[in-house]
Amino acid sequence: MKILILGGTRFLGRFLTESALKRGHKVTLFNRGKENPELFPEVEKLTGDRGGDLSALEKGEWDAVIDTCGFVPRVVRESAKLLAGRAGHYTFISSASVYDELESPGIGEHHPVGQMSLPDAEEMTKGKTNRPNNEYYGELKFLCEQEVEQQFPRRCLIVRPGLIVGPYDFTGRFSYWINRVAKGGKVLAPGRKDKRIQFIDVRDLAEWIIGMVEQQNSGIFNAAGPESPLTMEAFLDECKRALKSDAEFVWVDEAFLLENGIGYWMELPLWIPDSEQMEGFLSLNIDKALETGLTFRPLSETIRDTREWELRHQALERKAGLDDDKEQAVLGEWKARKANT
């Protein structure tokens, strides 16, 4: 197949490109040429900017397009409309953040989504080509989905991943725990041990998406993992085992964490307190994806591979994670409270 990937050199796009090439497809990349331009010297590279210069996409035909970097409805509309007559199939990487009413687990693809009007979105994102505001990230992603469906009716695949993890993840949301457990000692563990969490290895996601593209599958699919429910305790225990760590987990009450100014999700990744009533966000129903071939490598492999990549890139700044001094201060406060009760 001839596959056009919008993006293709940073995280998910990087592994989509690798997977497609490994499976014998001809890949074209369209991006600004600023992120890892030395990658994939064997593929055709088109340089442009989705927000203002699509001229490199005005010629050419492809069996499939994979859009990894669409966040603004207007921008997605322009590229999808330009390609609609010259591409057979369009895959849009959306997000589980589109969902609303997150109180209950088992959210399926027909669950209610967050809504905002297209005129409001146009006004809010005027002049913007990338992520305009995380506050409305999910609502904008859903509008992007609709733009794709309008230009590629019955021939588009909408993928709604949860947290994507693994090597080349620069956010630090998953790798915080890998690095912290590897360091050992007393580790602050948040809230309930049995709280469900979900994430998907970027390589498993990429392999599944390329397989779906090969079959020209259409529709909306949640994409998260693992196949069986995973708790925070089981995840941390597997980190300890896989990394041969001496870490000792100190489980701290959620209310105490909030009282002490610990921020959830970004400061303490994978933790969303019960008080936020968002259990559904980390317990998506993935039956549709499983039925179409989504599979998962062992969790220990994801942990070890992520740690190896982190060790090679220690100088890079991470956006997520709890400061060491703050963690130890909160653990000290927690110990004192426990001693007085």
Would you kindly state where each structural domain of the chain is located, as residue ranges? 1-161, 167-198+227-277+298-340
- Joined together, the tokens standing for residue 227 give 């196949």
In this prediction, residues 332-339 reach a mean pLDDT of 94
Residues in the chain: 341
Phi, psi of 270 (to 5 degrees): 70, 0
**Statement: residue 148 has pLDDT above 80:** yes
> Are residues 89 and 153 in contact, defined by beta-carbon separation less than 8 angstroms?
no
Q: Any idea which architecture 167-198+227-277+298-340 has in CATH?
A: Alpha-Beta Complex (3.90)
Give the confidence band of 127 by pLDDT, cuts at 50, 70, 90. confident
- In whole angstroms, what is the distance from residue 94 CA to residue 155 CA? 16
Q: Which of 303, 36, 17 has the alpha carbon at shortest distance from 177?
A: 303
Looking at residue 132, its pLDDT comes to 67
Q: Which of 28, 123, 3 has the alpha carbon at shortest distance from 72?
A: 123
178 membership: H or E segment, kind and range: helix 175-183
Domain 1-161 has CATH 3.60.15.10: no
135 vs 300 pLDDT, higher one: 300
Tell me whether residue 256 is exposed, middle or buried, using C-beta atoms within 10 angstroms of its C-beta: 0 to 12, 13 to 18, 19 or more. middle
Looking at residue 52, its pLDDT comes to 85
- Joined together, the tokens standing for residue 185 give 């000692």
- Joined together, the tokens standing for residue 116 give 């905002």
**Statement: residue 213 has pLDDT above 80:** yes
In this prediction, residues 333-338 reach a mean pLDDT of 94
Give the confidence band of 194 by pLDDT, cuts at 50, 70, 90. very high
- Joined together, the tokens standing for residue 92 give 């849009």
- In whole angstroms, what is the distance from residue 122 CA to residue 294 CA? 35
Phi, psi of 303 (to 5 degrees): -65, -50
